[in-house]
């Protein structure tokens, strides 16, 4: 991701509806799990790493970009600057890996999944999120350095080829998908821009309804996966 986009993300993520709800989803996913050593791949400014540490995981942020790693360090998070294609961890040494919005940035996404599989302990969990539906491709994807958007089938194929066992796959940001599709038809830059507080609050209220509605099988803007090492 471009350094300017990372700086935008860092400035927005504490209050932006998208990132706040994603942190809620992560906290819900790890609830009740046996705590241990966790890795947040593609941590950027470290928002998800903070969720893990707040829930008493021994969590480390891993970030490829210099800017993202620096911001995470400034926020007093343990951070490693490294490549997801070559994770600097021993085989079977991690209890949880979070890779939110990572695979779509990397040409060889199967190799990243192989690395996730290699470093997880047998039976340990990976939580993965990717942008969904190639039909939603827009200037936003280009601005933030995406290589692709996924379908359920293409994501499942990558995970299985990488050795992971799929536990669950579901859509997120379903209710706002029509709005996202409409907006991105005419977009010329990324969505990482400040917005009016009332609009931010309204969007957060809408997307948070998905916590209670059975919409995860419908088309959304993102796909969320829970998988484990065989």
Query: What pLDDT, on the 0 to 100 scale, is given for residue 144?
Result: 87
Query: What pLDDT, on the 0 to 100 scale, is given for residue 83?
Result: 97
Q: Which residue has the tokens 């009740």?
A: 32
Running along the chain, 230 residues long, what does each successive block of 10 average in pLDDT? Answer: 70 89 97 96 94 98 92 94 98 98 97 98 98 94 93 98 97 96 79 86 97 97 96
Query: What pLDDT, on the 0 to 100 scale, is given for residue 1?
Result: 65
Query: What pLDDT, on the 0 to 100 scale, is given for residue 8?
Result: 73
- Nearest residue to 44 (alpha-carbon basis) of 88, 17, 79: 79
Q: Per residue in 133-163, pLDDT tens?
A: 999 999 989 988 999 999 999 999 999 999 9
Angle of CA points 215, 217, 221, to nearest 5° = 80
- pTM of the predicted model as reported, rounded to 2 decimal places: 0.94
């Amino acid at each position: 991701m471009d350094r300017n986009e990372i700086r935008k993300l860092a400035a927005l993520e504490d209050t932006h509806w998208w990132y706040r709800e994603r942190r809620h989803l992560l906290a819900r996913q790890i609830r009740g799990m046996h705590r241990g050593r966790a890795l947040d791949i593609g941590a950027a400014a470290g928002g998800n790493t903070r969720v893990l540490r707040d829930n008493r995981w021994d969590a480390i942020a891993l970030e490829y970009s210099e800017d993202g790693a620096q911001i995470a360090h400034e926020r007093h998070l343990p951070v490693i600057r490294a490549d997801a294609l070559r994770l600097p961890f021993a085989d079977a040494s991690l209890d949880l890996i979070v890779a939110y919005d990572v695979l779509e940035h990397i040409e060889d996404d199967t190799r990243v999944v192989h690395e996730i599989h290699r470093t997880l302990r047998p039976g340990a969990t990976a939580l993965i999120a990717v942008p969904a539906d190639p039909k939603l491709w827009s200037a936003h994807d280009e601005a933030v350095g995406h290589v692709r958007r996924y379908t359920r089938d293409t994501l499942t194929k990558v995970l299985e080829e990488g050795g992971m066992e799929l536990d669950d796959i579901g859509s997120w940001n379903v209710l706002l998908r029509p709005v996202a599709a409409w907006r991105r038809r005419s977009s010329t830059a990324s969505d990482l821009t400040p917005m009016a507080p009332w609009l931010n609050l309204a969007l957060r209220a809408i997307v948070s309804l998905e916590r209670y509605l059975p919409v995860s099988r419908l088309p959304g803007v993102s796909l969320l996966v829970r998988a484990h090492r065989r």
